[in-house]
Amino acid sequence: MGTPDFSVPCLEELIKNEEVVGVFTQPDKPKGRGYELTPPPVKVCAEKYNIPVFQPVSMRDGKALEIINSLNAELIIVVAFGKILPKEILESVKYGCINIHASLLPKLRGAAPIQWSILNGESVTGVTSMQMDIGLDTGDMLVKKSVEITENMNAGELHDALSVLGANVLTETIDSLKEGNLNPQKQDDALSSYASMLSKELCPIDFSDTAQNIHNKIRGLYPWPVAVTKLNGKVLKVQESRLSDITTEKKAGTVISLDGGICVACGDGKVVSLKTVQLEGKKRMNYSDFLRGHPIEKGTVLGR
């Protein structure tokens, strides 16, 4: 059971090593300007290997359970499926449901752990396999592997790294299950945190914040929904930034230099350098190309 790109390496790993009797994924959704119905990446992958695909609107009306029972599966793997599974499905197969979750549980339970690990300024995250229960990412932990979050890594790059790591964690989990040496560990709820769904309300940059927090926001919200500020009343998306060595006493939001980036004063007296930007109605550009077509004077204040 899975839906987005993140789930595909796990599915491919299963196809390589196990008998996959069926794939559940979300219904096709309209995308693009023409609102053309588009299948989820997991469906595209499953159909390539001629695996039966099921796309129920609900997992709670009994129909999904009927399908599962007819497949005679022993184990259900869930990777970014996007639907809550009721108790009867969790208990419907011999070995239950194992979830591949993109954080080091119990940290960052919930919908957007990859982005929030960067937004929160974490230096390490990872993937945890978990025996699912009826709670939200609260089940017993099985296998954990970690990965470093480097200073300029964005959420898209971390997504790709964790997607591959997830397949490795899944293989190790199933191998241990077969060998009978899984060692389930209870989660400590006192150490848990929640990674809520992303929304565009998170996007505006507050330059009165620290340079590090602003850099984390720009990285964590790329490639979606993308951090934004305003330049002379127009929305300016910011897709890439770097921390600068410059310090300043200028007001937060003030452009203090255009050398190596659009260098902006932050609330802690440090500076963030905007490297890739996109003005509303225009294409994404690196800062030097942008400045050729849209000159900015030093002293300009962003955010208004």
Instruction: Identify whether 89 is part of a domain.
Output: yes
Q: Work out how many domains the chain is built from and give that number.
A: 2
**Partners of residue 100 on adjacent β-strands:** 129
| 222-274 pLDDT per residue, tens | 999 999 999 999 999 999 999 999 999 999 999 999 999 999 999 999 999 99
210 shares a domain with 79: no
280 shares a domain with 173: no
Helix (H) or strand (E) holding 245: strand 234-247
Q: Are 214 and 207 in contact (CB under 8 A)?
A: yes
- Please, what sign has the CA dihedral across residues 257, 258, 261, 265? positive
Q: Which domain holds residue 94?
A: 5-101+127-187
**Partners of residue 24 on adjacent β-strands:** 54
Structure tokens at 55: 């796309």
What type of residue sits at position 90? L
Residue 67 scores a pLDDT above 90: yes
175 shares a domain with 90: yes
164 shares a domain with 207: no
Mean pLDDT, rounded, of the chain:
97
Instruction: Identify whether 41 is part of a domain.
Output: yes
Instruction: Return the number of other C-beta atoms located less than 10 Å from residue 98's C-beta.
Output: 22
| 135-184 pLDDT per residue, tens | 999 999 999 999 999 999 999 999 999 999 999 999 999 999 999 999 99
Can you give the pTM of this predicted structure? 0.95
Of the pLDDT bands very low, low, confident and very high (cuts 50, 70, 90), residue 32 is: confident
Structure tokens at 99: 């979830």
76 shares a domain with 37: yes
pLDDT at 294: 95
Residue 33 scores a pLDDT above 90: no
214 shares a domain with 97: no
279 shares a domain with 151: no
Kindly report the CATH number assigned to the domain that includes residue 17: 3.40.50.170
Instruction: Identify whether 194 is part of a domain.
Output: no
Strand pairing class (23-24; 53-54): parallel
Instruction: Identify whether 108 is part of a domain.
Output: no
Instruction: Identify whether 59 is part of a domain.
Output: yes
- Please, what sign has the CA dihedral across residues 22, 159, 48, 63? positive
Q: Are 55 and 43 in contact (CB under 8 A)?
A: yes
Instruction: Identify whether 114 is part of a domain.
Output: no
**Partners of residue 91 on adjacent β-strands:** none
Of the pLDDT bands very low, low, confident and very high (cuts 50, 70, 90), residue 34 is: confident
Residue 133 scores a pLDDT above 90: yes
Kindly report the CATH number assigned to the domain that includes residue 252: 3.10.25.10
214 shares a domain with 85: no
265 shares a domain with 170: no
Nearest one of 133, 28, 23, 14 to 67, comparing CA atoms: 23
pLDDT at 92: 97
CA distance 134 to 91: 10
Instruction: Identify whether 110 is part of a domain.
Output: no
Q: Of the candidates 187, 210, 237, which is a domain's last residue?
A: 187
149 shares a domain with 211: no
| 80-110 pLDDT per residue, tens | 999 999 999 999 999 999 999 999 999 999 9
Q: Exposure string (b/e) for 29-62, b if CB count within 10 Å is 16 or more?
A: eeeeeeeeeebbbbbebbeeeebebbebeebeee
3-state secondary structure of 178: helix
268 shares a domain with 221: yes
| 5-26 pLDDT per residue, tens | 999 999 999 999 999 999 999 9
Instruction: Identify whether 298 is part of a domain.
Output: no
Interior angle at CA 197, CA 9 and CA 33, nearest 5:
75
